[in-house]
Amino acid sequence: MRESRRPSTTGPAATADYTARMIDRPDYPATSHRIAPDLVEAARAFFPGLAADDLRPVGASDDLVRVDTPRGSLCVRRWPRGTGSGRVRFVHAALAAARDGGVEHVGTAVPLPDAPGETVLAQSARIYDAQTWQPGRVEVRRPYETLPDGERVNLPAPLPPPVLAELVATVARFHAATRGLARPDAPSVPLASLEPAVRRSWEANRDRLRPAAPRTPPIQRWVRAGERLLGEATSALEAAPEALHATPAVIHADLWPAHVLTARGSDDPTERLTGIVDWTEAVAGSPLLDLAHLVTHFGGWTADSAETVLGAYIDAAPLTPDQRRLLPAVAGLDLIAETGRLLVVAYGRRHPDDAPATSAARAGAESLLRSLEILTEVVAHGDRPSRSLARRWDYSSRRGGSAAAGGARTPAGRRPAPSRGQRPTEGGPDRPPRRP
C-alpha cells in the first residue's frame, strides 16, 4: 500500500521502482534509450573496464542498467533520491539472509572491487548498488500502466496456480529467514500505523476524484466501501493488540505481477518461478501485508483464494490464529489506498491535455474494487454468505395458519405473495401442499 507515488507511506513506501525485466519479453521489445552517464559511471565502479557493449537498458527505466560480464549478468541500480546508505545495506542484509536460508529466487549484492565487503556506492548525492541478475520474464502481458509523466503504476493480474503457490512459499521462506533482522533499529512499518495512513490516502484521493464521481459509478462504489470498511477494519485491528505487535519479519511490501519473473525449462513446458525483484521497499513489518498483496494483487479476494494462499504460506512459515483472522482487515485497508490510487489513474485525469487512461487501467481498478467490496462484507460479517434479506412468507391462511405450521407470519396489513406458478385467488393464495 502506498499513500502517494513519491512521498513515503506507512505500508510500502512510495518510492518503488516499477521496472520489471522487460527486455526478456518478446512482446516488449528492448528499448534503445540512452543510458544515463551517472549509471555508466556507477557500473564501471563496480565492474572496471566495461565496454559500451556490455551495458544494456532495462525496459524503459532510467534507474537500471544490465551489465553482461564473463561471470554472468548483473544489474546496477540508482536508488531513489533521499535513500540513505543504511537503508540500502538493510535490504542487502535481508537478501543475504534469505539466500543463506535457502531462498533461491532473490538476488545478492555485489561488493565494490576496491572496497571488500562494501556493497553501496555513494556518488553525486545518489546511492547505487549492483545485484545478481534474476533470469526470466514477467508472466503477465501488461504489468503496469505508464502515465504521461513517465510514472508507472502497477496493475493486478492472475498468475498460473503453480506459479502463485511457489511465489507464496518463497515469500514465506523469506519471512522466516529474515526475522532476526526485524530489530527495533531497522527500517520498519508497524501494522498499527496502517489505518491512519490509509485514511489520509483515502481522503486525498476522494478529493481528487470528487469532480468525476457523479458520472463514474466505480468511484461511487469505492467511496461507499471505504467509508464502511475504515471503521470496521479499525475495530478489528484494535481488538487484536497482540497481533499488531507480533514479531515481524522483513517483508517485500510491494508485491505485484510486475515483480515476479518466470521461465519454462528446456525439458518442461511448465512455467516456473525464477525471481522476485524490486526489493527497494523491503522493510521490517507484519507478514500480513505481503499476504494481503499475494491474494488481492494476483487474482483477487475470494474465500478460496485466501485459503489457498494461507495454506501455501503456513506450510513454510507460522501464523498465529489472530494473524489469520486479521488478514481480511489488513487486506481491506490496503485495498482502500491501492484502489483509490488506480481510480485516480483510470478516471481522474491530472491535466486537460492528458490522454484518457487505457482499458487496462480501468480493468485493474475494477479488479481491485471487486476485492474491496468483498472484503467490506467479510470484515463486517465474516467470510460467510450474507443472510438473505428476502422475507419468508407464511402461505397459510391468516385464520388457520401459524408460524409454526408454515413459517414466518405474513406482516399484518400485507397480502401474502403468491408462490411461483400459483395463480392468486380473490381471497388470497391457496395454501401450497406440505412437503414431507
Please check the confidence at residue 418 and state whether its pLDDT lies above 60. Answer: no
Distance CA 142, CA 133 (A): 22
Q: What is the pLDDT of residue 43?
A: 95
Assess whether pLDDT exceeds 60 at residue 27.
no
State the pLDDT confidence band at 2, using cuts at 50, 70 and 90.
Answer: low
Burial class (CB in 10 A: 0-12, 13-18, 19+), 364: buried
pLDDT, one tens digit per residue, over 85-101 is: 999 999 999 999 999 99
Average pLDDT for the chain? 82
Give the residue-averaged pLDDT of 11-27: 30
pLDDT given at position 411: 42
User: Is 287 a residue whose pLDDT tops 50?
Assistant: yes
Assigned C-alpha cell, 121: 556506492
Band (pLDDT 50/70/90 cuts) for residue 310 is: very high
What is the per-residue pLDDT across 161-214, written as a single tens digit (0 to 9) for each? 999 999 999 999 999 999 999 998 999 999 989 999 999 999 999 999 999 999
Average of pLDDT values for 127-156?
Answer: 88
- Displacement of CA 66 from its chain's centroid (Å): 26
Question: Per-residue pLDDT for 390 more than 50?
Answer: no
- Beta carbons of 420 and 432 less than 8 angstroms apart: no
| pLDDT for position 384 | 53
- Of the chain, the percentage scoring pLDDT greater than 90 comes to 62
pLDDT computed for residue 358 by the predictor: 76
Max Cα distance, the chain (Å): 100
pLDDT for 413 beyond 50? no
Q: Does 329 score more than 90 pLDDT?
A: yes
Of the pLDDT bands very low, low, confident and very high (cuts 50, 70, 90), residue 408 is: very low
Q: Which helix (H) or strand (E) holds 100?
A: helix 85-100
Rounded CA-CA distance 19/59 in Å is 7
Tell me the backbone φ, ψ of residue 149, rounded to 5 degrees. -85, 10
Q: Give the pLDDT score at 152.
A: 84
Q: Global pTM? A: 0.80
Q: Is 382 exposed, middle or buried (0-12, 13-18, 19+ CB in 10 A)?
A: exposed
Q: Give the pLDDT of residue 352.
A: 57
**What confidence score (pLDDT) does residue 245 get?**
75
Give the pLDDT confidence of 238-251 residue by residue, as tens digits. Answer: 998 888 877 689 99
Query: How far is it, in rounded angstroms, from Cα 99 to Cα 185?
Result: 22
- Residue 409 pLDDT greater than 60, yes or no: no
For residues 207 and 154, is the Cβ–Cβ distance under 8 A?
no
- What pLDDT is recorded for position 357? 64
Instruction: Provide the pLDDT for residue 166.
Output: 97
Give dist(CA 270, CA 251) in Å, integer.
28
pLDDT at 353: 59
Is residue 151's pLDDT more than 60?
yes
Reported as a pLDDT band with limits 50, 70 and 90, residue 220 is very high
Rg (CA), the chain: 26
Question: What pLDDT is attached to residue 15?
Answer: 26
Number of Cβ atoms within 10 Å of the Cβ of 124: 10
Cell 524490486 belongs to 278
pLDDT-derived band at 420 (thresholds 50, 70, 90) equals: very low
Residue 356 has pLDDT above 80, yes or no: no
Q: What DSSP letter does each residue of 286-320 carry, written as one string?
A: -HHHHHHHHHHTTT---HHHHHHHHHHHHTTS---
Pairwise CA distance, residues 12 & 255, whole Å: 9
Higher pLDDT, 395 or 50: 50
Cα dihedral 210, 380, 311, 103 sign: positive
What's the pLDDT at 150? 72
